[in-house]
Amino acid sequence: MKFLITGANGFVGKALSVELLRQGYAVAAAVRSAEGVVEGASVQLLGSIDKDTDWTEALLGVDVVIHLAARVHVMREDTADPLQEFRRINVAATEQLARSAVLSGVKRLVYVSSIKVNGEATIAEKHFTADDEPSPQDPYGVSKYEAEQVLHKIAKETGLEVVIVRPPLVYGAGVKGNFAQMMAVISKGIPLPFASVHNQRSLVYLGNLVDALIICGTHPKAGGQTYLISDGEDVSTSELLRRLGVEMGCPTHLFYCPTTLLKVAGYLSGKSNQIERLLGMLQVDSGKIRRELNWTPLYTLQQGLQATAAGYQNKIL
């Protein structure tokens, strides 16, 4: 069986390619640059993807596509119409890939969407599920939901087996963004005002996500389904910081600050979204994939944090 991985030299793509090759699958990597593509994968250079991308050569002999390439969160947005730019890559390019896949005889396309399709936050005792009414709140989430809708339409018209996977925050060795910033702050011993935060958030370790994506690409019952995944152990921001500190060998110094003051500080600093993610609830029910595909996470939260901390320390040494 041959897989085409879009975004194969990214954080998830590299780990996915390594594991697929280890399991004996053929892997084609569709990328803008060959830099970072794992040894053993064939390389298909595409440049920037959009509605006009020619996928013909990349799809030769491919049985399953796992579509990771996307325009993701932009911390400092500088485009006049962010939603239009997200749609250009996340919707139009995805549609072009799917229709090209059909013409090339591809059997299945696994689309890595986002939990943002469900919404930005949950309330106590209420988890997001795959059956919830979608409620994306920002241009990125809207574009991911629109791409899902396009793929369902193509599947209905052509018989292409589409599998949607909506992960929450993905962490692991080499993680970037806010998670990497947290580890940098912990390593410097900077006190953090989150001792009063007792929220619950779902995460998914990179190794667990990779395993779930491979199962979604190969399991006969996965076609046509949408799955939410997580490690199965939710954690508060304060507990996450403490546990990361333990794994990094850097005690985490937390102090009490009312959450209302944290929200005000976020508003005044223009970082309300980041503060809301640190304070808010976001819990995921991954029961559907466990029941239907008999999937269970290979790694615990502790194992994931250990690997993530080790990766960070190896990078800075």
What positions carry a catalytic annotation? Answer: 140
Helices of type H across the chain:
11-22, 82-86, 93-103, 139-158, 177-187, 206-218, 237-248, 259-269, 272-279, 287-293, 301-316
Q: How far is CA 231 from CA 12, 180, 207, 302, in A?
A: 16, 19, 10, 10
Axis-axis angle for helices 272-279, 259-269 (nearest 10):
160
H/E element, 170: strand 169-171
For residue 141, the 8-state DSSP code is H
Q: How far is CA 287 from CA 39, 100, 205, in A?
A: 35, 33, 17
Distance CA 229, CA 169 (A): 10
Residue 145 CA from chain centroid, whole number:
14
**Structural tokens at position 305:** 């944090």
Task: Identify the three-state secondary structure at position 201.
Answer: strand
- Edge-to-edge strand order for the sheet containing 108-112? 42-45, 26-31, 2-6, 64-67, 108-112, 161-166, 226-228
Task: Identify the three-state secondary structure at position 110.
Answer: strand
Q: State the distance between the two ends of the chain, measured CA to CA, in whole angstroms.
A: 39
Distance CA 94, CA 96 (A): 5
